[in-house]
Amino acid sequence: MSNSNNPLVLGATGQVGKLVAMNLRSRGANFLVGTRRKTDLEALAEQYGASRYIDLDDPRTFDEALKDVTGVFLINGYTVDMLVQSKTLIDAASRNGVSHIVHLGAFTREHDTYLPVFAWHQMIETYLRDSGVAWTNLHPNMFMQNLLALWRVNGGRYSVYTSKPIGFAALEDVAEAAAVILMEGPEKHHGRDYWFSADALDPQQVAETLTAATGYKFTAEVRDHELLLKEMVLPAVSTFESAYAKGGIELFREVEHGRMAYIGSVADDTKRILGREPLMLRDWAKLHADELLEIASS
Ligand SMILES: NC(=O)c1ccc[n+]([C@@H]2O[C@H](COP(=O)([O-])OP(=O)(O)OC[C@H]3O[C@@H](n4cnc5c(N)ncnc54)[C@H](OP(=O)(O)O)[C@@H]3O)[C@@H](O)[C@H]2O)c1
């Protein structure tokens, strides 16, 4: 582990990047967080130690943001813009001597997928592998944190668009692993793909697990995947663009028909990276019981 490490964490105001930054802070690491909101720079610097202005939609901001940066936690939002954002950022990292990029991808275990978001992540990973910058790709399956979205567990009814098992990953594991990988650097993690899918459960098992953890009766409702686009892109609940949501329909259609059965598999590198077992949904639901209860009773 190098003392001169100085990684830049993107997406620190989002759900994954925030946990990565908190993990780095609690481990006493030297690091910076990037934000596209100039008004947040000061508050983020107070919170994490140092911040830099970077707008992934404006590559002119990259060189200044990457000055003296040794590694990048590359995270994008839920839009196709991730392709241009990542390509230009990887170019800038290479130009500025950044030695390691840790990319947050998806659970893309097979290459013949035609889900848009999986394809986008695979294209970013291919470009990254060819860039000359040392790389590590993280591949989380469905975030357990998705179960905290109101539209998914409204009134204690877990709405899901396939009856088949889905593999879940706790962001606590993904973020802690990302922080450790950034701290340990490319010497240990270059050229590695890590998988995060700790617990594979069908809808009924998810509802039973949430019920056991909270004492509140959760039920499961398998809905027609064609409804996903309408329900996911409700203005009040979503930052997803429709291409992403359409990909969600494809995902559930494929899983339901058994063509993407691997989405329901367990494959998890948490222990390999952190030396501890990953959180199962039952553990995660206990940690988040108050939030689950609040949503379920709303
Ligand atoms: N949900 C799942 O189950 C799942 C599973 C596997 C993989 N993933 C992947 O996880 C990623 C999303 O992670 P997340 O849930 O943490 O996202 P998120 O909560 O939506 O956060 C996105 C972060 O990116 C920042 N950002 C967006 N556009 C930016 C720009 N132009 N310049 C600088 N920063 C920008 C946002 O900053 P602002 O605060 O300024 O908006 C925010 O901090 C996606 O790539 C997705 O494919 C998700």
> Could you tell me what percent of the chain has a pLDDT over 70?
94
pLDDT for res 232: 61
* Binding site membership of 53 for ligand 1 (Cβ less than 6 Å): no
Q: Kindly state whether residue 147 falls inside one of the protein's structural domains.
A: no
Adjacent-strand bridge partners of 140: 196
CATH of the domain at 22: 3.40.50.720
pLDDT for res 236: 47
Q: Kindly state whether residue 15 falls inside one of the protein's structural domains.
A: yes
Query: Could you tell me the two tokens for 64?
Result: 């200044």
- Would you say residue 82 has pLDDT above 50? yes
Task: Identify which of 94, 97, 96, 75 has the alpha carbon closest to the alpha carbon of residue 86.
Answer: 75
pLDDT for res 169: 98
Mean pLDDT of the chain: 92
Round to whole Å and give the CA distance between 260 and 257: 8
How far is C-alpha 83 from the chain's CA centre? 16
What residue spans of 237-280 are helical by DSSP H?
Answer: 242-256, 270-274
- AA letter at 203: P
Predicted confidence (pLDDT) per residue in 98-117, tens digit: 999 999 999 998 787 878 89
- Would you say residue 278 has pLDDT above 70? yes
Atom of ligand 1 nearest to the CA of 239: 20
Residues contacting 160, CB < 8 A, separation 6+: 152, 166, 203, 206, 220, 221, 222, 223, 252
pLDDT for res 231: 66
Q: Kindly state whether residue 257 falls inside one of the protein's structural domains.
A: no
Residues contacting 188, CB < 8 A, separation 6+: 181
Helix, strand, or coil (residue 54): coil
Q: Kindly state whether residue 181 falls inside one of the protein's structural domains.
A: yes
Q: Kindly state whether residue 36 falls inside one of the protein's structural domains.
A: yes
Q: Kindly state whether residue 240 falls inside one of the protein's structural domains.
A: no
What does DSSP assign to residue 279? P
* Binding site membership of 75 for ligand 1 (Cβ less than 6 Å): yes
The arithmetic mean of pLDDT across residues 165-173, rounded, is 98
Which of 56, 75, 137, 240 to mutate for ligand 1's pocket (most ligand atoms within 8 Å of CB)? 75
The number of folded domains in the chain is 1
43-57 burial, b at 16+ Cβ within 10 Å, e below that, comes to ebeeebeebbebbbe
- Would you say residue 2 has pLDDT above 60? no
CA of 59 to the centre of ligand 1 (A): 18
pLDDT for res 154: 81
* Binding site membership of 36 for ligand 1 (Cβ less than 6 Å): yes
CA of 249 to the centre of ligand 1 (A): 20
Task: Identify which of 121, 41, 126, 130 has the alpha carbon closest to the alpha carbon of residue 82.
Answer: 121
Predicted confidence (pLDDT) per residue in 210-260, tens digit: 999 999 999 999 988 777 666 665 544 455 667 777 788 888 989 999 989
Predicted confidence (pLDDT) per residue in 183-209, tens digit: 999 999 999 999 999 999 999 999 999
Q: Kindly state whether residue 285 falls inside one of the protein's structural domains.
A: no
pLDDT for res 265: 96
Round to whole Å and give the CA distance between 78 and 80: 7
The whole model's pTM is what? 0.95
The arithmetic mean of pLDDT across residues 5-29, rounded, is 97
Q: Kindly state whether residue 93 falls inside one of the protein's structural domains.
A: yes
In which domain, by residue range, is 31 found?
Answer: 8-141+169-197+266-277
Do 92 and 59 meet the contact criterion of CB atoms below 8 Å apart? yes
Round to whole Å and give the CA distance between 240 and 223: 19
